[in-house]
Amino acid sequence: MLHKRNGMSTEINKKEKESLEGEGLAEAWPLWEVFIRSKQGLDHKHVGSLHASDAQMAIENARDVYTRRQEGISIWVVESIHIHASNPDESESLYDPANDKVYRHPTFYDLPDELKHM
C-alpha cells in the first residue's frame, strides 16, 4: 500500500498499514488500476494496482512504483469500480454476431506500404 507523506509518496510498512486501518483510511482509499505506455509502444498496458485517495495521488504513486527507471511516457489510472468486463464463459455468444460481417475482415482492404502501425 502507498501513502503520501510530506508531499512524497512512500510505501507503507505493516505497522503503518495497521494504524491506517484502525483509523478507517485504508478502506476509504479506492483501488486504482494502472496502465503505462512505454517509450517504444503505442498502447497502454496494465501494470498493476494501488490504493490512493484520488486520481492525482494514484498517478503520482504509479509514477513512483511502476516507472522507477523512466520506462514510461504516459500513465493512465482508472478506479477499479469503473471497469466492467465480459464473462469469458459467454464469449461465443458475445462475438458470434461479428462472424457474419465479412466486410470487417482485413482481407477486403489493400493497405499502402507507407502505412506502419496497422
- For residue range 48-89, list pLDDT tens digits in order: 999 999 999 999 999 999 998 888 899 999 999 999 999 999
The residue-averaged pLDDT of 23-41 equals 84
**pLDDT at residue 1 above 60?**
no
**pLDDT at residue 2 above 60?**
no
pLDDT (0 to 100) of residue 16: 52
d(CA 89, CA 19): 41
User: Grid coordinates standing for 19?
Assistant: 494504524
* Average pLDDT in the chain: 79
6 pLDDT tier (thresholds 50, 70, 90):
very low
d(CA 12, CA 15): 8
- Find out if CATH 3.10.20.520 is the number for domain 2-84: yes
Residue 2's alpha-carbon distances to 23, 90, 102, 109, in angstroms, are 16, 36, 49, 49
**pLDDT at residue 8 above 50?**
no
Residue 73's alpha-carbon distances to 33, 93, 102, in angstroms, are 17, 38, 37
Contact 58, 92 (CB under 8 A): no
Name the more confident of 72 and 110.
72
